[in-house]
Amino acid sequence: MGKREPRSKRRNRGANNDDDDDISANNRGADYLSESHTIAGLMSNNGDSTTLGSIPDDSSWGIHDDDDDEAYQKKGGAHDDDYQQSIEATQLKLAEVLGSTVPEFQSEKRSSKREAMLKTWFKALTLYATLPPYDVVEQWKEELVKACGSYALLRGTPSEQYAGCRVLEALAVLIGDHELYDLVAKRLVRTIQATQRAVPVRVSALRALGMIVFCGIEDDVITESVLDLCEEVLKSEYRGQTTPLALRACAWQVWTLLATTIHELYVAGKDHESTGRGLLLLSVVAESLEADDNSLKEAAGQAMAYIHDCRLRLGADVDAAENININTTDAKYSLGSWEGSEWEEDVDEITQKIYELAHASGHYLSKKAKKEQRYVFREYLGMLHDNETPEVVVQFRGGSLELTSFSDICALEYVKRCLQGGFQIQLLTNPALQAIFGCDGAALGNSSGYSQLEKRLLLSKTSEAAKLKDQDRQNGRKKRQNVKNLFLTADGDGF
C-alpha cells in the first residue's frame, strides 16, 4: 500500500489557486480567463466579495460617474467654492487610497484582496485624479508600476494580470511619457507574445501599450515598432500558433489608433520610396471580415474605413502633389480614389463584404446582435460608397463635443473604452485629452443647472434634506399627540 499524501497537499491540490500567486506564470502552463472578463467583474470571481476595510465604497466593482459625491462636479458660476472644495476632497481621497494600499500590496497574501486593491487603484486614477499635473500620481508612480508591471504580471493570477494592465492603461492617460514607456514596454510586449497567457491578459497588455504610445510618445520609431507588432498579431497565425480572435480584434483597434498619429501617406499612399501600411494589409482585412467573431469584423471594418479616409484626404492634399512631383489633378485622381490603382479589386471585394454585413439577414445572429452589426457596418459602407464621414456628439453639462473627423472618432472609442465611467470627468480635466480632441473642459463643464448626482443628493426623496424634513414632521406629530393626551396626566399622578 502506497504512502498517503499529507493532508495539506491534498487540501491545496483541490482548493482554489488564489494562494499560489508566488508561482511564476511561465511555470504554471497555459492560463485561462473568460474572454468576457472585465475589470467590473473581478470581484465576482468564485463568489468572492472580499473588501478592504481601509478603503471606502469598495463593496462592488461597479465604476460609474456618480459613484462618489466628488466624482462629477460642475465648474463656474456661484459654485466655484464648492467645486474647489470637491477638487481638494478628491485629491485627499486619492492620496488616502494610494497611501493606504500601495505599500501593502506585495505583502498581501490573499489574491482576492490584491484584486480589490488593483480595482481601487483603477477607480481612484480614473475618478479621483482630476487635478493636473497629478502630483499624487507622480508620487506613487514607481510603486504602482512595480506592483502592476513586475508583481501582478509575473506572480499574480490571470485576473490580477488583467487588472494590472488596466491600471497601467489608466496611468498612461494621466502621466503617459517616455519614462513610463521605458518602465513597462518590455514587460507588456513579453506578455503579448506569451502564448500561454490568458487571452484577456494579452489583450489588456496590448491595449495598455497602445494607450501609452498614443498619449505620451511622439517618437516615430517607437510608434512604428508598435505598429509592426500589431501587424504581426492581427494575422491568423502568430509565433507558430493560431492567434485568438479577441487578440486579433484588439490588434486592429490599436493599429487604427496609432495610425491616426502618422501621416496619411504612410497609411494609404505610395511613392517611389514606400507603400502605405494599410495598403499592404488589405488582404488581411478581407480575411478578418470573414471571421466568426463580430468584434474582429468590426475592428477590421473600422481599419478599412480609416484607410479609405486617409486615401481621400491624400487626394485633397495639394502638398502631397509637390512631394511626389506630380500635378494637383493627377494627385487628386490617383491618391484620392482607388480607381485605376493596383488595389482597386481588393477594395471592391472588401466593400462587397461590408455591404453584406450591413444588410445581414438570417437566424444565425440574435436580433440585438444583428441590429448592432447593421448599424456599425452601414457607417463604414457610407464612408466607402459615398465618402460620408459619420459624426459623433458627446453631451456634457455645459455643452456638447462634436467630432467630425474619423480619426478623432476612433480615438474617442478607444479612450472611452479605457476610462469607462471616468471618461467625462477626465475629458473635463485632463489637458492631454483636451488637446487630442480639441475641446475646452471649462466650457463643457460649466452649467447653471443641477447635475444628475446633485439632483439625487439635494432634490430626491432620499436626500438628506428630505430625511431631515421627514424627521421634523414625525417629531411634530408626536408633539401634537402628546398635547392631546396631556389631560390624562394633567394632575401629575397619571392613572
User: Average pLDDT per run of 10 along the chain, which is 495 residues long?
Assistant: 54 43 47 71 38 34 39 43 72 92 93 94 93 92 94 92 96 94 95 94 96 93 96 94 95 97 92 89 96 94 96 69 50 65 93 93 81 92 90 86 93 94 90 91 71 70 81 90 78 54
Residue that finishes a domain, picked among 314, 330, 349: 349
Interacting residues of 488 by C-beta distance below 8 A, sequence separation 6+: 494, 495
- Looking at residue 147, the DSSP 8-state letter turns out to be I
Residues 239 and 339 in one domain: yes
Burial classification of residue 57, based on how many CB atoms lie within 10 Å of its CB (0-12 exposed, 13-18 middle, 19 or more buried)? exposed
pTM, two decimals, is 0.77
What is residue 408's predicted lDDT score, i.e. its pLDDT? 95
* Cell triple for 478: 408626536
Residues 104 and 155 in one domain: yes
What is residue 457's predicted lDDT score, i.e. its pLDDT? 67
**Is 44 a domain residue?**
yes
Residue that finishes a domain, picked among 182, 217, 252: 217
Residue that is written with C-alpha cell 488583467 in the block:
162
Residue closest to 348 by CA, chosen among 291, 410, 304, 296: 304
Given 3-state DSSP classes, what are the helix, strand and coil percentages for the chain, each rounded to the nearest 5? 65, 5, 30
Range of the domain at 123: 16-217
What is residue 274's predicted lDDT score, i.e. its pLDDT? 84
**Is 313 a domain residue?**
yes
What is residue 451's predicted lDDT score, i.e. its pLDDT? 67
CB 356 within 8 A of CB 349: no
What is residue 449's predicted lDDT score, i.e. its pLDDT? 65
Residues 190 and 67 in one domain: yes
What is residue 3's predicted lDDT score, i.e. its pLDDT? 56
Give the total number of structural domains in the chain: 2
**Is 422 a domain residue?**
no
**Is 494 a domain residue?**
no
3-state secondary structure 46-108: HHCCCCCCCCCCCCCCCCCCCCCCCCCCCECHHHHHHHHHHHHHHHHHHHHHHHHHHHHCCCC
Residues 38 and 187 in one domain: yes
Residue that finishes a domain, picked among 193, 217, 241: 217
